[in-house]
Amino acid sequence: MSEAVIRSMKDLPSTHLLGTGTAMCAGCGGLQAVHEIYDVLGGRTVFVNAAGCMTLLATYPFTPFRGGWLYTSMASAAAGAQGIRDALDVLMAKGRLPIEEDLTAVVLAGDGSSYGMGLSATSAAIERGLDFLYVCYDNEGYGNTGQQASGATPLGARTATTPRGQRLRKKDLFDIWVAHRPAYAATVIGAEPLDLAKKIERARSIRGPRLILALAPCPTGWEFEPEHAVEIGRLAVQTGLFPLKEYVDGKVVHTRIPRPRVPVVDYLAAQGRFRHLFEPVRDDALIGEIQAEVDAYWRAVG
């Protein structure tokens, strides 16, 4: 990456995240979270975008950000972030880029990349201690190509490739990152903006590998009306299905304890992807299994 390119990043034309001319879906929970994250991070950022839903935000040479944008394949975002970070460090070491003009490398990837195709490269980047922020917008499926099942698809959810409901359990990406002992990791959701903002502020103040895992309610993939996106997001937290937590200083701390917890059936029944659990015959066994797993998680938390 040339010095001229890096210096010009802050002056690139931009459009407002919620007002782009691109084909983003109405009510996108991922876009809501990314908007709130960018509000805190500001323009001194370079987004390294793994192919996915958010790729629709940028049409060369325009991006929705005032920093920079690098598009990569689904498996290569962490490697792209390494290249950007190395280029910035080399230019600053040679005095060709003032330290005050340094930029933050931010990976922007969906769950298809984060839980699957890009996990190996990401693991290697964490092991190397790469100074980058990894933002995963998790809509629990390959949303950009028709909502096929991914490693993030939850038990029981219907997708294009699991028409009778997913029988596997969702990977725990947060715990996978924590096992690497990163500098920081946190879960967030756009429907809880204050919690999100606090975590982005903390992540911004830390150097090293940092994860922001954002649950992204998806009206098209999860089958609910766009105006209910915030309600669905809050239900994910209130039922305890999506714990809000962070890993910092070697400890996991929950930033929201849902009391009282709402039954998971309220969350499941609000989405078409779980409709088969209720009709034509209610699947009390699987609904009970999902509830039992949530209950066991929070008992362990204490």
241-296 pLDDT, tens digit each: 999 999 999 999 999 999 999 999 999 999 999 999 999 999 999 999 999 999 99
- Strand order across the beta sheet in which 245-248 lies: 68-72, 45-50, 104-110, 132-138, 209-215, 184-189, 245-248, 251-254
User: Given this model, what pLDDT does residue 23 score?
Assistant: 66
User: Given this model, what pLDDT does residue 62 score?
Assistant: 84
Domain extents for the chain?
3-301
Mean pLDDT of the chain: 92
User: Given this model, what pLDDT does residue 267 score?
Assistant: 98
What's the CATH code, domain 3-301?
Answer: 3.40.50.970
Query: In whole angstroms, how far apart are CA 104 and each of 96, 144, 150, 184?
Result: 17, 26, 29, 15
Query: In whole angstroms, how far apart are CA 75 and each of 49, 114, 210?
Result: 10, 8, 18
| Mean predicted confidence (pLDDT) in 89-99 | 96
User: Given this model, what pLDDT does residue 276 score?
Assistant: 97
Amino acid letter, residue 68: G
| Mean predicted confidence (pLDDT) in 86-107 | 96
